[in-house]
């Protein structure tokens, strides 16, 4: 199944088909209405495994998010993930009740379930597009933050129905988010502090340790009656920006686990659905999806971003980029486990809605960005892959710097790097051979540099290397960082 999924991703990337549909399709083919006729109906197991997969996906997203990029937009993203979420829930629930005829309890559950943007979908789509940093930062941060309040809302609606004392529910959401964020910060900071000072015997242990810390953050947040999903995202965000040893290896390991989690989760959801039961729910799903996409999501964006004076073009793109994926389908299993009336119909409507609107929004997002004149045709300078290994006895670090295609370090002489005193390029690997460079040696694309830096200048050396990679030899003089 994994091999088929990997090959299918390649085919999907060429055709422009969202990978979510490919994985779900594999599950449907294996399932009871498919070729193999495998019957799977364990909703509770699906929910447990879905939560586990979401933890891994959020951890991978947090590790890959650049804090300098999202720091200026965290307030806007936080408002969009809370106030904007509530606006979207109410508008969508009203549409489900009045336009489709669902009861208020079922309508509120659907409104809460489908109002959550999916972290995996947002991360995978946005990181392959060149958009303004504010847009990308808000959407990435929102998708990492909004899982937590959505889970709280869906659980509340599934256990007690429409809440009479709404202010009490909002207070509980605020408390759980605060606890989750605090635990995420604590676990992430302690984990980063320890990994920087403990020399593990093998480099392959660092990625395992980072992922284990992220899972511990989720567990600690949940045990403290806080939001475990927010804890794992915040902790991973801190770990991913802490300049830990072997960061490229950690990112690659987390990305691989994230792919496995997505493949397993979508295939599992494809197994759980019964296609021949979906016919009666297609029209309600389309109607609810139209209200969600064209009214609820834009209203939530406009209301949330009023204090931040975001241009209308960026608001329009954020409205269209509210991508759905595995998260709503997993959350739709909560009312099934709780035994809510019409819970199977809720699941079917959410499933159809996610499939149809993922097929519409995902492939058209680059076109919408170009139509709004928000795409950057030139692109940003390619970032450098820098890996660090601690040299304990020498109180120094060995930096491995790869010069990728698009880096402006191409054509720069070693002496023009102007590294801080205490850092030097010791070796250049080019075309399979290595040599000790001279100050006049000109660097090229594809080179790999081994840079030794003492502990006091390690961070400034990396900052200088990144600055040259983005801005060329005159990066410092031009004021770029």
pLDDT at 183: 96
- Token pair listed for 346: 């809720």
* Pairwise CA distance, residues 169 & 56, whole Å: 28
Q: Kindly report, residue by residue over 449-474, the tens digit of the pLDDT.
A: 999 988 888 888 888 898 888 888 88
Contact 263, 2 (CB under 8 A): yes
- pLDDT above 70 covers a percentage of the chain that reads 90
Q: Kindly report, residue by residue over 158-184, the tens digit of the pLDDT.
A: 886 555 667 777 888 888 889 999 999
Rounded average pLDDT over 269-287: 87
- Token pair listed for 453: 């830096």
SS3 451: strand
Contact 284, 349 (CB under 8 A): yes
Q: Name the strand (E) or helix (H) holding 478.
A: helix 475-478
Q: Kindly report, residue by residue over 27-80, the tens digit of the pLDDT.
A: 888 887 767 778 888 888 888 998 899 899 889 888 988 888 788 888 998 999
Q: For each of the domains in the chain, give its residue range(s) and CATH number, in order of start.
A: 2-371 (1.20.1530.20), 385-478 (3.30.70.1450)
Q: 3-state secondary structure string, 246-274?
A: CHHHHHHHHHHHHHHHHHHHHHHHHHHCC
CA end-to-end distance (rounded Å), the chain: 45
pTM, entire model:
0.74
Contact 58, 119 (CB under 8 A): yes
Q: Kindly report, residue by residue over 305-328, the tens digit of the pLDDT.
A: 999 888 899 999 999 988 887 788
Contact 462, 386 (CB under 8 A): yes
Q: Cα angle vertex 313, ends 309, 319, to 5°? A: 90
383 — pLDDT class (breaks 50, 70, 90): low
- Dihedral sign (CA 108, 113, 114, 116): positive
pLDDT at 66: 81
- Comparing 140-144, 151-155, 162-166, 415-419, the range with the smallest average pLDDT is 162-166
128 — pLDDT class (breaks 50, 70, 90): low
* Pairwise CA distance, residues 110 & 157, whole Å: 10
What crossing angle do the helices spanning 297-305 and 74-98 adopt, rounded to 10°?
A: 140
Contacts of residue 6, defined as CB under 8 A and 6 or more positions apart, other chains included, come to none
pLDDT at 481: 42
């Amino acid at each position: 199944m994994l091999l088929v999924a990997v090959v299918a991703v390649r085919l999907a990337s060429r055709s422009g088909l969202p990978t979510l549909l490919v994985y779900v399709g594999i599950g449907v083919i294996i399932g009871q209405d498919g070729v193999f006729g495998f019957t799977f109906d364990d909703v509770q197991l699906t929910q447990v495994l879905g939560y586990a997969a979401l933890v891994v996906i959020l951890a991978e997203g947090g590790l890959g998010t650049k804090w300098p990029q999202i720091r200026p937009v965290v307030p806007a993203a936080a408002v969009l993930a809370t106030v904007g979420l509530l606006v979207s829930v109410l508008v969508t629930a009203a549409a489900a009740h009045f336009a489709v005829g669902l009861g208020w309890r079922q309508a509120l559950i659907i409104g809460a379930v489908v109002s959550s943007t999916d972290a995996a979908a947002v991360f995978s789509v946005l990181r392959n597009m060149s958009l303004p940093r504010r847009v990308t930062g808000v959407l990435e941060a929102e998708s990492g933050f909004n899982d937590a309040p959505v889970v709280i809302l869906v659980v509340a609606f599934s256990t007690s129905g429409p809440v009479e004392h709404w202010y009490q529910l909002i207070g509980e959401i605020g408390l759980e988010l605060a606890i989750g964020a605090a635990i995420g910060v604590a676990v992430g900071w302690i984990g980063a502090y320890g990994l920087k000072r403990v020399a593990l015997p093998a480099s392959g242990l660092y990625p395992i340790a980072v992922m284990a810390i992220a899972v511990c953050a989720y567990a600690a947040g949940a045990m403290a009656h806080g939001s475990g999903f927010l804890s794992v995202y915040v902790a991973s965000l801190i770990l991913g920006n802490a300049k830990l040893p072997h960061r490229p290896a950690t990112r690659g390991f987390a990305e691989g686990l994230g792919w496995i989690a997505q493949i397993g989760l979508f295939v599992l959801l494809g197994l759980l659905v019964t296609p021949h039961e979906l016919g009666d729910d297609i029209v309600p799903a389309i109607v609810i999806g139209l209200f969600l996409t064209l009214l609820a999501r834009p209203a939530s964006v406009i209301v949330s971003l009023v204090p931040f004076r975001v241009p209308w073009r960026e608001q329009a793109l954020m409205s269209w980029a509210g991508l759905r994926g595995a998260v709503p389908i997993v959350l739709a299993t909560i009312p099934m486990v709780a035994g809510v009336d019409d819970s199977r119909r809720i699941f079917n409507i959410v499933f159809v809605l996610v499939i149809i609107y993922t097929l519409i929004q995902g492939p058209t997002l680059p076109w919408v960005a170009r139509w709004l004149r928000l795409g950057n045709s030139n692109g940003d300078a390619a970032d450098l892959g820098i890996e660090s290994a601690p040299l304990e006895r020498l109180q120094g670090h060995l930096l491995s710097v790869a010069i990728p295609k698009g880096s402006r370090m191409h054509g720069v002489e070693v002496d023009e790097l102007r590294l801080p005193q205490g850092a030097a390029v010791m070796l250049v690997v080019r075309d399979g051979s290595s040599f000790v460079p001279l100050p006049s040696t000109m660097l090229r694309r594809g080179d790999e540099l081994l840079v030794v830096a003492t502990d006091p200048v390690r961070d400034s050396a990396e900052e200088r290397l990144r600055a040259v990679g983005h801005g060329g030899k005159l990066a410092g003089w031009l004021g770029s960082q």
